[in-house]
């Protein structure tokens, strides 16, 4: 999978974005035929890339066994930055991220997570905090729900970006919130939403997911008719 991504990005870097401009190729000393060829290759690149991205989503797993291989800080930066670009209600990013690398702190986190001591094996741990106040001020009836959804979008982006970097991660919610907040000196207005250990995986769990049809209805709840949906063609 990593080789496929490397090839795709190499191809992207070599590609001239000719678009629909008739003189783009001339400016780069490329003939019209070459422009058309490059445009066709780019369309294929985008189509293939979408397939690889979908396979990445399908192959993500919750990882609880990590190697001691060090992680470049740039990868952790990328992972958090991807999280910060998740969708948010009202344009309010109501969360904070604590980055933890200290071995003693990680050990204590494992203890406070109902003795999940394996957490300490991860080179990095991210602790996700959520503040409901601003969203509840803006949306009195649904603010807390929107606040939770914002945080969930952040966490999902973090998990996926970690996987794109060939790292393993796990969304942990089993911990004593009050004691954990005291240990990390978290202000009272925040809630700990997740502990996310990140590292190079030492396992690849087999996970069986339900079929597409098991969770999808058409037009109304529990309606399975799909005359207007080209399901068979999509699956080819």
* pLDDT of 3 above 50: yes
Query: What pTM was computed for the model?
Result: 0.82
> Per CATH, is 73-199 categorized as 3.40.109.10?
yes
Cβ of 66: how many Cβ atoms within 10 Å? 25
Tell me the CB-side half-sphere exposure of residue 171, using CA atoms within 13 A.
Answer: 14
* pLDDT of 164 above 80: yes
> Which uninterrupted H or E stretch holds 128?
strand 124-131
pLDDT digits (tens, 9 = 90+) for 170-210: 999 999 999 999 999 999 999 999 999 999 999 999 999 99
Instruction: Return the minimum-mean-pLDDT range out of 6-20, 33-47, 56-70, 159-173.
Output: 6-20
pLDDT of amino acid 227? 76
Give the pLDDT mean for 122-143. 97
Q: How confident is the model at residue 5 (pLDDT cuts 50, 70, 90)?
A: low
Tokens of 208: 């069986």
Give the pLDDT mean for 114-141. 97
**Domain assignments of the chain as residue spans, ordered by start:** 2-59, 73-199
pLDDT digits (tens, 9 = 90+) for 84-108: 999 999 999 999 999 999 999 999 9
């Amino acid at each position: 999978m990593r080789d496929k991504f490397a090839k795709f990005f190499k191809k992207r870097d070599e590609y001239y974005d000719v678009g629909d401009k008739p003189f783009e190729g001339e400016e780069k000393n490329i003939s019209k035929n070459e422009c058309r060829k490059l445009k066709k290759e780019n369309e294929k690149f985008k189509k293939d890339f979408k397939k690889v991205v979908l396979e990445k989503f399908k192959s993500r797993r919750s990882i609880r066994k990590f190697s001691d291989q060090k992680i470049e800080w740039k990868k952790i930066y990328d992972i958090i930055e991807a999280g910060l670009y998740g969708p948010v209600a009202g344009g309010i990013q109501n969360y904070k991220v604590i980055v933890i690398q200290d071995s003693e702190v990680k050990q204590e986190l494992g203890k406070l997570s109902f003795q999940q001591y394996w957490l300490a094996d991860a080179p990095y741990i991210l602790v996700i905090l959520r503040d409901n106040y601003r969203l509840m001020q803006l949306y009195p009836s649904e603010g807390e729900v929107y606040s939770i959804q914002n945080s969930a979008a952040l966490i999902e982006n973090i998990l996926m970006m970690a996987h794109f970097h060939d790292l393993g991660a796990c969304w942990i919610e089993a911990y004593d919130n009050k004691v954990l907040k005291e240990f990390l000196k978290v202000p009272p207005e925040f809630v700990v939403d997740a502990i996310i250990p990140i590292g190079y995986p030492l396992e690849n769990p087999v996970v069986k997911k339900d079929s597409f049809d098991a969770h999808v209805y058409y037009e109304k709840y529990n309606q399975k008719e799909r005359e207007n949906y080209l399901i068979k063609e999509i699956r080819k």
